[in-house]
A and B are shown apart, each in its own frame.
Chain A
């Protein structure tokens, strides 16, 4: 497709600066409309669930400890290799016991792979993004710090720990059968494979509704 345009000006346009006046009219109109800017420290934009912010280890409501089973999947998948896990093995049962879990937030690139591959939903990237500091130490998260991050996050959100839901804990649109048991949490209908949305008559509707 050849683009056609005409930049030649008529005499009237040339003398009276019509194109500049048109531009000024547009900007002047903006003066009387509502501003689109958000005054950041005072107002904050709401975040969508699944925002990849500060790391946390989810505290198990029953045991009050981290859920991690030391399977090393997060440490293996991490592209920047910022997760360090140490565990010991019980000689009789062969079960792993988590000893330390460290994340170096300064190395992290916030891709969210760790929370997606975690089979028991132990590690999560919370919706907290204001944690700047003057030194490096506060960004080296050990296990206590990661659990504290989780408590702080819940306190800030004023939310029950059981109710927290994040699309990386149960990826949207994946069949339940493909997920490990720990990730089969309850999610809204829209997130499931069956409740997928499609477009029909100018509206987003679930595929199930569209069929009938």
Chain B
């Protein structure tokens, strides 16, 4: 302890000269894409350390799921990655179907693949818009939202909501698609490559864009794998891993597409990866529309939306109802014991659902492996040694959504 006031002043001043300066970035910073807080330790403008704080958007989805039937949890998955909720719906349904042993009809598989790729487009368009805006390109933001709006309108047509879609159900989809939807989506896919070319004209060779992205946030292939990165963030480093290719689900085995990988692993390569993925998604949608078969949209053994579960009072139907209702409600043979992990490729990376079921009709435990949470864990590695301004570019390039991270 210093003995008098002057001593105290002396020591603190001395320490200030050598101690790193700490700054809290977020949780209300507009470029952190939500409520992410980063405690940055700085030496001048160079980052010595970065400590992410998450949990500001925690809603307890995993715990809520333990008190709800499987069908009731599905609308909650809209609120995970809220900019591409269709993809979450599909991933969740696949997981529950594997647990209950339900085989989805082919038409439903194709429809799901279409909506999943549409979700990937909406996700990537919003990513490009905000990422470009963070770095300083305003026009791209406006152009991306123009196309995203068209896709959201199509979501509204098939399920009645633009963002909180809840479109799939366990064993298929809730509604069939319409002819108008198919036609408008097909004409959208015809125009879309020219729109991507527009975005590329604006930023692809722009010298400011290149200065801000090339050589920033470099992660090698080995590091990317050991950090647990997935999705375009991993593929930017040159690792060819895609759940759609390696563990195909829905209609992905029937369509022809390629997995774009980068080489350098910097922000620019991740940007190129996502742009190329948009082209691939576009082609997948076209192939699925052209090959869309006819047939049922829900599996015959799919459980009813009103899934009875052990803790819940069973509802007895009146004699005035059709016999069909009673039959579905009595059908409790689906609830098997066991655990299952199923993952799907969502715009952010690999979204996995892990269920432990004890046969009560509600999950004993549901765990969500959300890519954003793991990507935020990689931020300290990516940010170390970079400048403060580059943190924004790095957060943008790993593409995190805090709704999914905190869940």
Contacts and interface: CB of A to CB of B under 8 A. Distances in A.
A51 B156 contact: yes
A110 interface: yes
Contacts of B202: 23, 26-27
Contact of B325 (A27, A180, A196): A180
A73 to B, nearest CB: 5
Contact of B161 (A52, A79, A193): A52
A2 B324 contact: no
Interface residues of B, number: 73
A104 to B, nearest CB: 16
A39 interface: no
A60 interface: no
A3 B294 CA distance: 37
B24 interface: no
Q: Considering residues B174, B206, B214, B296, which has the most beta carbons from chain A within 10 angstroms of its beta carbon?
A: B174
Interface string B196-232: 0010011111110010001000000000000000000
Interface string B175-205: 1111110110010000000000010011111
Interface string B242-278: 0000000000000000111111000011001100100
B22 interface: no
Contact of B160 (A26, A50, A76, A197): A50
Contacts of A47: 156
Given A48-B156, A51-B160, A19 B177 contact: no
Given A113-B305, A199-B186, A79 B73 contact: yes
Interface in A103-143: 109-113, 116-117, 119, 125
Contacts of A173: 175-176, 296-297
Given A79-B68, A79-B76, A190 B179 contact: yes
B322 A119 contact: yes
Contact of A3 (B160, B276, B322): B276
B46 interface: no
Nearest to A51: B160
Interface string B147-180: 0010001001101110010100000001111111
Contacts of B306: 73, 76-77, 117
Contacts of B297: 173-174
Interface string A1-27: 111010101000100000110110011
A167 B294 contact: no
Interface residues of A, number: 65
Contacts of A172: 175-178
B18 interface: no
A112 B160 contact: yes
Contact of A109 (B164, B178, B296, B318): B164
Nearest to A115: B160
A128 B238 CA distance: 49
Contacts of A168: 160, 175
Contacts of B166: 111-112
Interface string A186-212: 000011010011110011111100000
Nearest to B149: A36
A110 B161 contact: yes
A140 B203 CA distance: 50
Nearest to A206: B179
Contact of B72 (A79, A119, A181): A79
Interface in A24-38: 26-27, 36
B312 interface: yes
Contact of A26 (B201, B269, B294): B201
A65 interface: no
A172 B272 CA distance: 39
Interface string A161-187: 000000110011111011111100000
Given A1-B259, A204-B186, 8 more contacts: A20-B207, A27-B139, A69-B320, A71-B318, A199-B182, A203-B183, A204-B183, A206-B179
Interface of B: 68, 71-76, 107, 139, 146, 149, 153, 156-157, 159-161, 164, 166, 174-180, 182-183, 186, 198, 201-207, 210, 214, 238, 258-263, 268-269, 272-273, 276, 289-298, 304-306, 312, 315, 317-318, 320-322, 324-325
7 contacts: A1-B258, A2-B238, A113-B71, A113-B75, A167-B175, A197-B177, A199-B182
